[in-house]
Amino acid sequence: MGSANGLMGYRGKEPLLSFGVISDVQYADIPDGRSFLGVPRYYRHSILVLQRAVEKWNNSPKLKFTVNFGDIVDGFCPKDQSLTSVEKVVREFEIFNGPVYHMIGNHCLYNLPRDKLLPLLKIPTLDSRGYYDFSPVPEYRFVVLDGYDISVIGWPQEHPNTIEAWKFLREKNPNSDKNSPENLIGLERRFLMFNGAVGKEQLEWFDGVLQDATKSKQKVVVCCHLPLDPGASSKEALLWNYDEVMDVVHRYNCVKICLAGHDHKGGHSIDSHGVHHRVLEAALECPPGTDAFGQVDVFHDRLLLFGNDRMKSSEMIFNP
């Protein structure tokens, strides 16, 4: 099986904390298939990738928690198996000897509505909102954003967030198939039904969290299923209003890293304000016997992602 890819430790220094990462497991008890771009997908094997990840994390006693970046069950999962499949994957995560922090992905919402999904993922929420923050050590705060806050999937059809999302999509995407980017130019190609937006209330909450982190002299790691920077992701995978979210981020100096999933090939960029954007490679696209998961070591001036197999290792250095 896979070993960690090529990154050396930080001159023998002990990290402030370490945590595990995995994204886009998209398990389903169905034969292997392909994405709409023709990339192979290994629906049954992906849960084995997760099992190996949990085993490795449990053999790393310094790991404080793990973060799952969404899409635990695939949209092609037969709907009469949705609940049992989500429960099956959640049980695998719960074998980890510590907290697991989940976030919402589009494939999760193809299978279950928010009111059923969020309790299963133990997301601390009010009114079915999937955003929250936590501080595992005094020096750092982690912010989990809900990229499907404004979305045509997951909410009841009559919900104001669904109505707002449909209005937005009809204005931005003239195609009858709202998952098609045909004739959309450049960054407009993100206006697709399988993406979503962070709503006004969540943006205000996010601004308040960053204000508080600044006062507390905390560095912030932002986690969202949907990528927040075009340099790290295909245009078709971006959050609808990534620019508004990043406007909030750039008001402050506390956010150092933005981590995401959704764009299965992965990516890494540094934006104009020096914020790192790392999109994680998908567990779903691992051929049998290969892996995509990692361990992140956190220091005062960098995060080191030690990837396994198809997840690339990354050194993310920033100005503390």
Alpha-carbon distance values, 263 to 23, 35, 39, 131, 180 (Å): 10, 12, 12, 20, 16
Which residue has better confidence, 126 or 311?
311
pLDDT, tens digit, 9 for 90 and up, residues 230-282: 999 999 999 999 999 999 999 999 999 999 999 999 999 999 999 999 999 99
What DSSP string describes 47-94? HHHHHHHHHHHHT-TTEEEEEE-S--B-TTS-GGGHHHHHHHHHHHHH
Mean pLDDT of 306-316: 97
* Residue 2 confidence (pLDDT) above 50: no
pLDDT in tens, 24-39: 999 999 999 998 889 9
From the CB of residue 277, how many other CB atoms can be counted at a distance below 10 Å? 24
Q: Which helix (H) or strand (E) holds 295?
A: strand 292-298
Report residue 147's pLDDT band, with 50, 70 and 90 as the boundaries.
very high
pLDDT tens-digit readout, 273-307: 999 999 999 999 999 999 999 999 999 999 999 99
Q: What is the pLDDT of residues 70-113, one digit of tens each?
A: 999 999 999 999 999 999 999 999 999 999 999 999 999 999 99
The whole-number pLDDT of residue 11 equals 62
185-230, pLDDT tens digit by residue? 999 999 999 999 999 999 999 999 999 999 999 999 999 999 999 9
Q: What pLDDT score was predicted for residue 1?
A: 39
Residue 3: is its pLDDT beyond 60?
Answer: no
Q: Return the exposure string of 29-39: e unless at least 16 CB atoms fall within 10 Å of the residue's CB, then b.
A: eeeeeeeeeee
The confidence score (pLDDT) of residue 6 equals: 58
The pLDDT assigned to 283 comes to 98
Distance CA 135, CA 123 (A): 15
In 3D, which of 150, 135, 71, 67 has the Cα closest to residue 101?
Answer: 67
Q: What is the pLDDT of residue 127?
A: 80
